[in-house]
Chain A
Amino acid sequence: MSSIRTTEGTNRHLPALSDVLIGVVSLLIFGAALLATLDWPIEAARFPRFISGIGLLCTLLFLGTLAFRSLTTGPTVTQDTEGGPQESQTTEDPADEESVDVGYVFASAGAKEWVQTLLWLGAFFLLTYLFGVYIAGVTFAFLYLKYGASKSLVYCLVYSVVLGGSLWMLFSYFLGLPLPSGIFDII
C-alpha cells in the first residue's frame, strides 16, 4: 500500500519495485518448472506444463503492463491498488481500515524491528533444530518475554515453565504424539 502512496504524487510513475521483483521471481519459477517438464513423459508432464505455461504468460503480461504503464503517464495506478479511494468511501469507518490492515504493520515497521524479529524467530528455529522443541520453546519464551516484552523475572519463569509443562502433558503424556527433537537430544 505504502509503495503506491510514494509514487502517487509524482507525475511519471514508475512501477512499484516489489511488483517487478515478484514478477521476475515468478517468471524464473515458471520457466524452471516448464523446463523440468521437458524431461517427463507426456502423461506426467501435461498438467504441470499447462499450468507453468499459463503462469509464464500471466507473468509476462503482468510485467508488460507494468512496463507499458511506466512509459505512459496517468493516474491509473491508484485505481489498481487495494483500498483505493473508491472503496474507502463505501466502508463505514475508513479511518479504521488502515489499522486493521496487517500489511500496514509490515510496511510501517522499521528495519531494526524487522531484523530483531527475524533474529528472534531464527534463534527459535535453530534452538529447536539443535535441542528439540521443549528446550527451545521454554528458553525462547523466557528470553523473549524478558527482553522482547520486558516482563518481570517471575512472570517469565512461570510462563515458560507452564508453557513447556502443559505442552508436555498434552502431547507426550495424554496423546503420545512425538514432538520435534533436536540433534542433541537431551529430553
Chain B
Amino acid sequence: MFEALASGLGQVVQPTILLTMLVGMCIGFVTGILPGLGGPVTLAILLPFAFGMDPVQGFAFLIGIWIVTSTAGDITSVLFGIPGEPTSAAAVMDGYPLTRKGQSGRALGALLTSSALGGILGMIVLALTITLIRPLVLAIGPPEFFVLTVLGLTFVITLAGNNLLKGFIMASLGLLVAVVGIDPELGLPRYTFGSLSFWDGVDIIPIVIGLFGGAEVLQLMLSKRSISQTVEPDVNSLGQRARGILDALKHWSVIVRSSAIAIVIGMLPGLGGSVSQWLAYGHAKQTSKHPERFGKGAIDGVVAAGATSNAKDGGQLVPTIAFGIPGGAATAVLLGGLMILGLTPGAEMLTVNLDLTMSMVWIAVFANVIAVSIALLGVKYLSKLTHISGPVLIPAIVMLLMVGTYSVNNDYVDVFVMVGAAAIGVICLRWNWPRVPFLLAVVLGGFTESYLSLSSSMFGTEWLTRPGVLTLFAVIVGSLTIGALPSLRKWKLRREVSQESTK
C-alpha cells in the first residue's frame, strides 16, 4: 500500500497535472461561491472536457473542481450569511455573527484551516481503509440510517434556543415540508397542491437560500449599512487570520470529531453532507464548554461546521471507488468520470490500480491545501467586501439568489419556495423563533420516513435489535441527557426565581 501511495504521489507531482488541477479549481471556486450553483452541476457540465485526458489528469481536473466548491461555499456563508452550497449552511450559524462583529478574518481563518484539516483527515481515512472498508459499508443499512436521522432530530433540542416548544413547532413545520411529494411506499402525491413541481419534494437549495439569503437581503436593504458592523483597520486582518488559524488548531478535537461524523456518513449513499454538517454542529454545541455562545459567534461552531465540508469527500469516495456505487450527487458524476477515463470501479481500483486510487487521494490533499492557502491569502480582500455599504451589494446578491434558485430545477416554483422560506426566515429573526430546527427537519424528514419504511419492509421488526441500531439508540439517550441538563438547571432556577418573587 505504501508503494501505491508513493507511486500515486509521483504521478501527481507533474506540472501538467498540477496546472490542470488549478484550472479545475478556478472554475470550482466561481461556481462554489454562487449560491445554488454547486459541485454536482459544475462537474456534470464540465465532465466532457475530461474525455481524452489520462486518468490522473482527469482526476486532477474533476477532483480539483469538486474539492474547491465546498470550500468556496463556506466562504460565502461566513461573509454574507448566505450558504454557497447547501452543505455550508451550518457555517452561517457562527461564522456570520463573527463577520458582523468585524471578525470575518478570524472566522475565515478558523473555518478554512479546519476545512483543510478535515479534508486531509478524510483522505487519510480513505487511503488507510479503502482496502478494508467493505464490511463496514455492508453492515450499515436503512435501520442505522433511520436511527441516525432520529439522532439528528434530537439536536432540535440543542439548537432550538431557549424556548423548546418553539423549537418543536418549527421542527414539526419543517417535517411537514419534508413530507411534500410522492410517498415512498404507494407513490401517492402528498401536500403537492395539485402541482407536478412538488412531486419530487421541495428542493433543499431554495429553502436554504431563502431562509438565510432572503433574510440577509432584507437586513441589508433595511439597515443600509455594511455587513460588518464595526470597522476594524485592515492591518488587523493578518492578525485576525492568524488568530483564526490558532483557534482552529486549539479546537483540534472538534475537528477530529466533526470530521469523523462527516466521513462515516459520507461513506454510505444517502444522508450526505447537508445532514452531517448539522450532526457535527449539534454535537459540537453539546460538548462545548460555552454552548450558550453558539449562534452568536462561537469559534468552535465555525470549526465544527468547516471540518465537515471537505471531510465528507473522503468518505463519499469510498463506496464510489470500492463498489461503483456513488456516495453522493457529486460522486455520481465522478463515477461517470471514472468510466470516461477508462477505469472500472471495484476490486481493480483496490489492487491493480491502487496507485491510481492513491493518486486521487494525493490530488484531493493537494487541492485542499492549495484551495485553502489561496483562500487564506485572499481573506484580507474578501473581508473588505463586508465593509462595503450594504445597498451597493444588493443588486448583485438579489440577482444571484434569483438565478441560483431558478437554476436548481429550471422551475419558477422554486423561486416561490425561496420567497416563502425567506418570509419564514425573516419572521423567525424578527420575533425570535428558531429557524435552524425548521431547516434541520426539512433536511432530515424525508430520510426519516423512507428509512423507517425501508427498515420495516426489509427486516420486519427485527431491525430494532441490530447492534448498530442499539449502539445509536444509546448515543441518543446519552445526547438527550446531556442536552436536557442545561434546560433542567434553568427550569429549576426559574422555579426558584418565581417562588421567590411570589413570596
Contacts and interface: CB of A to CB of B under 8 A. Distances in A.
Direct contact of A and B (CB under 8 A): yes
25 contacts: A16-B431, A36-B191, A43-B186, A51-B179, A58-B165, A59-B169, A62-B169, A76-B494, A79-B490, A87-B292, A96-B229, A99-B230, A106-B429, A128-B402, A133-B399, A137-B399, A140-B399, A145-B392, A148-B221, A149-B394, A163-B395, A163-B396, A167-B403, A171-B407, A180-B406
A58 B399 contact: no
B142 to A, nearest CB: 15
Contacts of B297: 100
A1 B165 CA distance: 17
B498 A176 contact: no
B72 interface: no
Interface stretch (B111-119, B211-219, B334-342, B462-470): B211-219
A4 B452 CA distance: 41
Interface stretch (B170-178, B311-319, B370-378): B170-178
Contacts of A117: 218, 221-222
Interface string B218-260: 1101111000011000000000000000000000000000000
Interface string B385-406: 0000101101110110011001
Pairs A-B, 3 closest by C-beta atoms: A55-B172, A141-B395, A149-B391
A3 B315 CA distance: 46
Contact of A62 (B41, B166, B292, B399): B166
Contacts of B45: 175-177
B427 A22 contact: yes
Nearest to A23: B169
Interface in B394-427: 394-396, 398-399, 402-403, 406-407, 410, 412, 415, 419, 426-427
Contacts of A30: 172, 176
B203 interface: no
Nearest to B100: A100
Contacts of A144: 391, 394-395
Nearest to A79: B494
A178 B37 CA distance: 12
Of B42, B395, B406, chain A has the most CB atoms within 10 Å of the CB of B395
Given A106-B219, A117-B221, A149-B392, 9 more contacts: A23-B169, A36-B190, A48-B176, A90-B293, A100-B229, A103-B431, A141-B395, A144-B394, A149-B394
A44 B399 contact: no
Contacts of B406: 133, 179-180
Contacts of B217: 121
Interface in B87-114: 97, 100-101
B430 A179 contact: no
A141 B429 contact: no
Contacts of B176: 29-30, 33, 48, 51-52, 55
Contact of A3 (B172, B175, B186, B431): B431
B3 interface: no
Nearest to A144: B395
B52 to A, nearest CB: 20
A58 B219 CA distance: 30
Nearest to A171: B403
A100 B97 contact: yes
A71 interface: no
SS of B interface (majority):
helix
B407 A100 contact: no
A140 to B, nearest CB: 6
A97 interface: yes
Contacts of A151: 392
A76 B172 contact: no
SS of A interface (majority):
helix
A167 B399 contact: yes
Contact of A105 (B166, B223, B394, B407): B223
Given A97-B296, A167-B403, A74 B501 contact: yes
B223 A109 contact: yes
B40 interface: no
B188 interface: yes
B430 A178 contact: no
Nearest to A180: B406
Contacts of A48: 176, 179, 190-191
B168 interface: yes
B11 interface: no
Nearest to B407: A177
A113 B391 CA distance: 13
A129 B407 CA distance: 15
A79 B497 contact: yes
A75 B498 contact: yes
A41 interface: yes
Interface string B134-174: 00000000000000000000000000011101101100110
A137 B497 contact: no
Of A105, A124, A176, chain B has the most CB atoms within 10 Å of the CB of A105
A44 B172 CA distance: 17
B163 A51 contact: no
Contacts of A81: 162, 432
A180 B44 CA distance: 21
B165 A65 contact: yes
A48 B445 CA distance: 10
Given A65-B165, A90-B292, A133-B399, A19 B419 contact: no
B30 interface: yes
B218 A124 contact: no
A148 B391 CA distance: 7
Nearest to A55: B172
Contact of B221 (A120, A160, A171): A120
Interface in A1-58: 1, 3-4, 16, 18-19, 22-23, 26, 29-30, 33, 36, 40-41, 43-44, 47-48, 51-52, 54-55, 58
Contacts of B183: 40, 43-44
Interface in A79-97: 79-82, 84, 87, 90-91, 96-97
A102 interface: yes
A67 interface: no
A102 B214 CA distance: 12
Contacts of B502: 74
Contacts of A179: 403, 406-407
Contacts of A129: 412
